């Protein structure tokens, strides 16, 4: 498994000189929340602050700063008190702060400046209106900083900390729908796990999704952390029933979904209540068919897309009511 943090580290290591572009403050309706960031090199970007003209302006500013010679190389050539690009050095004092907490130390809007610790940075104060071809109506303050070794270490530490708090999504079954759902989940801020009894069904899974081969997949339910989501779609209905019964015993689960028809759900209910010592209250928590029945399309990628949206909604709702600090809930709170 190649985690998202590993991909992030690989980009930091291979992209050359980088600028960090971060949303430092917002007012009104904006594409992304405070703390959203992206990395910009001369040839590539990693992440997004919302796209559109706002992002293009920030990328242009970042690359202007990247194109400028390093401060140390320019020091001997520059008149006292002038920064790269001819911007006057300001006497303002500002403490260096980690990503996500820049608001109290922003330099003057729209101008380059130099923080006392020697980092070159700039801010953009952008109204999201017709002036730039966006109609969000809000305002965004963006901080751009050249990434040095210390800032890179901060970014990695923050990414590692966030990854440990990602909600878990367990996919039982690596068939056509399981493969499609795994590919969709791989794009989301979750820790995806695919569990199978057949080794060949785990081949070709996305590299950022964990895979587990086991003869007793229902046992994996007991190991899952609180707030996890379980999507059950194996090749065997009897195995589905065992896994779902185990999942419904977890009253701390955010989501329990089973692929299948209304007939399969009714058959499961009969078995669950009579043979598995289940209750009506537990059965009521089962989502089946996964993805709902509003769209009459049984192609695996369509089912996967609908199920992924259903799962993410369940994670946000569950974490809000359970007061669990997950990234998806923090994003929801910030956006509201």
DSSP 8-state assignment for residue 240: H
Question: Would you say residue 71 has pLDDT above 70?
Answer: no
Grade residue 86 by pLDDT with cuts at 50, 70 and 90. Answer: very low
CA–CA separation, 241 and 268 (whole Å): 6
Q: Taking residues 242-265, what's their average pLDDT?
A: 96
What does the pLDDT look like over 171-183, one tens digit per residue? 999 999 999 999 9
Taking a C-beta distance cutoff of 8 angstroms, is the pair 324, 242 a contact? no
pLDDT digit string, tens, across residues 117-144: 334 788 888 888 777 777 777 889 999 9
At residue 83 the predicted structure's pLDDT band, cuts being 50, 70 and 90, is very low
Helix, strand, coil fractions of the chain, as percent rounded to 5 = 40, 20, 40
Is the pLDDT score of 17 beyond 90?
yes
Q: What is the pLDDT of residue 324?
A: 53
Of the listed ranges 212-221, 262-271, 313-322, the one predicted with least confidence: 313-322
Provide the residue ranges of all domains of the chain, joining segments of one domain with +.
4-162, 165-335
Most distant CA pair in the chain: distance in Å?
85
Position 72 pLDDT exceeds 70: no
- Across 25-39, 110-124, 242-256, least confident range: 110-124
pLDDT at 67: 83
Question: What is the pLDDT, as a whole number, of residue 137?
Answer: 77
Residue scoring higher pLDDT (146 or 138): 146
* Residue of 79 and 65 predicted with greater confidence: 65
- More confidently predicted of 120 and 6: 6
Does the pLDDT of residue 45 top 90, yes or no? yes
Could you report the per-residue pLDDT of 188-246, keeping only the tens digit for each? Answer: 999 999 999 999 999 999 999 999 999 999 999 999 999 999 999 999 999 999 999 99
Q: Region 6-29: what's the mean pLDDT?
A: 92
pLDDT at 153 over 70: yes
Least confident of 101-105, 157-161, 239-243: 101-105
How buried is 149 (Cβ within 10 angstroms: 0-12 exposed, 13-18 middle, 19+ buried)?
exposed
Map tokens 């509003």 to a residue.
294
Beta-bridge partners for 194 = 171, 211
Q: How far apart are CA 140 and CA 128, in angstroms?
A: 7
Let me know if 320 is exposed, middle or buried by CB neighbors in 10 A (0-12, 13-18, 19+).
Answer: middle
Per CATH, the homologous superfamily of domain 165-335 is NAD(P)-binding Rossmann-like Domain (3.40.50.720)
Cβ atoms 335, 316 nearer than 8 A: no
- How much is the mean pLDDT over the chain? 82
Q: By the 8 A CB rule, do 29 and 137 touch?
A: yes
């Amino acid at each position: 498994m190649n985690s998202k943090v590993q991909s992030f580290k690989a980009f930091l290591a291979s992209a050359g000189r980088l600028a960090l572009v971060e949303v430092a403050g917002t007012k009104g309706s904006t594409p992304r929340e405070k703390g959203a960031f992206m990395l910009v090199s001369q040839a590539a970007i990693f992440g997004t602050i919302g796209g559109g003209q706002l992002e293009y302006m920030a990328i242009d500013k970042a690359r202007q700063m990247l194109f400028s010679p390093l401060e140390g190389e320019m020091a001997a050539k520059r008149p006292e008190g002038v920064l790269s690009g001819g911007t006057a050095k300001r006497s303002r004092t500002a403490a260096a702060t980690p990503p996500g907490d820049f608001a109290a130390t922003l330099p003057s809007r729209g101008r380059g400046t130099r923080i006392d610790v020697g980092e070159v940075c700039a801010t953009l104060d952008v109204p999201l209106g017709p002036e730039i071809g966006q109609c969000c109506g809000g305002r965004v303050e963006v901080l751009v900083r050249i990434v040095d070794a210390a800032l890179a270490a901060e970014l990695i530490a923050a990414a590692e900390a966030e990854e440990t708090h990602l909600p878990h999504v367990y996919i039982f079954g690596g068939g056509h729908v399981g493969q499609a759902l795994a590919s969709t989940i791989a794009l989301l801020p979750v820790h995806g796990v695919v569990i199978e009894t057949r080794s060949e069904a785990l081949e070709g899974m996305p590299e950022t999704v964990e895979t587990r081969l086991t003869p007793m997949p229902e046992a994996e339910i007991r190991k899952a952390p609180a707030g996890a989501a379980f999507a059950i779609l194996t090749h065997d209905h009897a195995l589905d029933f065992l896994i779902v019964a185990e999942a419904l015993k977890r009253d701390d689960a955010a989501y329990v979904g089973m692929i299948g028809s209304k007939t399969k759900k009714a058959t499961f209910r009969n078995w669950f209540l009579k043979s598995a010592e289940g209750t009506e209250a537990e059965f009521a928590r089962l989502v089946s068919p996964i993805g709902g029945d509003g769209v009459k399309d049984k192609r695996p990628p369509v089912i996967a897309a609908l199920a992924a949206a259903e799962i993410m909604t369940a994670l946000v709702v569950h974490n809000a009511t359970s007061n669990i600090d997950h990234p998806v809930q923090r994003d929801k709170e910030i956006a509201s």
